[in-house]
Amino acid sequence: MKVLGIETSCDECSAAVVADGEKILSNIIATQVPYHAPWSGVVPEIASRKHTEWIYSVVKEAIEKSGLTVKDINAVAVTNRPGLMGSLLVGLSFAKAFAWASNIPFIAVDHMLAHLYAPRLIGSEQLTMSNGDRVGYPFLGLLVSGGHTIICRADDFDNITVLGTTIDDAVGEAFDKVAKFYNFGYPGGMIIDKMAQKGDNKAFRFPVPSLHKGDHRYDVSYSGLKNAVINQLDLFKVKADYTNEDIAASFQKTAVAILLRALLNAVEDTGLTTIVAGGGVAANSLLRAKLGEQKKLRCIFPPLELCGDNGAMIAGIGYHYLVRGEHSPLNTTPSARVTGFKKRYP
Ligand code: KG4
Ligand code: ZN
């Protein structure tokens, strides 16, 4: 079964064709980075206008590159949540029109579920064990992006229980805000990651929030760290002569340590030792290295090109709804927030 997946939740305009929920036939990702860079952040109005301009050609290219024609597409899956409303509306409306015109099923997808699904796409060999079996549920999910920081238990592709989340800023947002404040460039996360490799991560001793008790054991907080880096640099200085790279390295070290502590608490309490990471921040090299050092854990990261927003993960997860015979009505609306995740403190 060939599913067309469309993703326009933020600043990537993406469409892909995926066969049987696993094999990527095409995955076009048109990034709007140069249009948002002058503002060091995503400008929602620009994002939705660019999606409107690009969506037709991006979908056309995805179908052409897949070697198929419109008639070969069996269903359309699209992100309808969470994201920027104007951006979501472009992809959602296009997908509905495509489905209606082609008389094929239409499936609206929560793209945070899709981030957790991304490693299951072929190309993610880490999911295949030496005996050929695939990693199964349940596992612990680490969803880390510009808008979300979620530690969860996944019992199926759409059965997610949130164990912990951020009580204020998302981890990706902290990377972006620090980069913006110091004019490191845009997009912030990737640039800080690169700069940190040349910096001294002991130049500053930034504070780690004390969220380690009771219901907060799996929660994280980034506004304190962000404020310390932006407004109180001198207070946490260990080294007199420091560079921008030192700021980046010390910030990144603390940001990753905060995530790890909450995640390891969840490992300890649930006994789950397989971690699947997803979202833009899953591309972070220190996070990958630190999780890789945890010998008792099996850590699965999507390939770098599938960490950020992309149509392939949407098409992939859409297939599983189809297999269950589930479609969405053509009056489905977008939502800025994640919906349908359960919340539970084990
Ligand atoms: O999932 P994503 O593409 O979009 C959504 O937010 O949904 O994630 C984007 C976020 C941004 O905050 C970006 O700075 C961050 O992912 N990011 C990184 C890295 N690459 C992207 N953060 C840290 N290290 C990276 N290498
Ligand atoms: Zn995303």
Q: What is the spatial order of strands in the sheet that 139-144 belongs to?
A: 298-300, 274-278, 139-144, 149-156, 159-165, 342-343
pLDDT of residue 123: 58
251 lines ligand 1 (CB under 6 A): no
Going from the Cα of 111 to the center of ligand 2, the distance in angstroms, rounded, reads 6
Fold of the domain spanning 139-301: Nucleotidyltransferase; domain 5 (3.30.420)
Domain assignments of the chain as residue spans, ordered by start: 2-129+306-323, 139-301
pTM of the model: 0.92
Task: Name residues with Cβ closer than 5 Å to ligand 2, which is an ion.
Answer: 145, 309
- Work out the pLDDT band at 57, boundaries 50, 70, 90: very high
Pocket lining: 7 vs ligand 1, CB cutoff 6 Å = no
Query: What top-level class would CATH report for the domain 2-129+306-323?
Result: alpha beta
- Residue 78's H or E segment, with its range, is strand 75-81
With a 6 A CB cut-off, is 315 part of the ligand 1 pocket? Answer: no
188 CB near ligand 1 (under 6 Å): yes
CB distance 341 to 161 below 8 Å: yes
Please provide the DSSP assignment of 120-171 as one string.
GSTT-GGGB-TTSPBP-S-EEEEEE-SS-EEEEEEEETTEEEEEEEBSSS-H
pLDDT digits (tens, 9 = 90+) for 117-137: 998 887 555 555 545 556 688
Which ligand is in closest contact with the Cα of 109?
Answer: 2
pLDDT tens digits, 176-221: 999 999 999 999 999 999 999 999 999 999 999 887 677 789 999 9
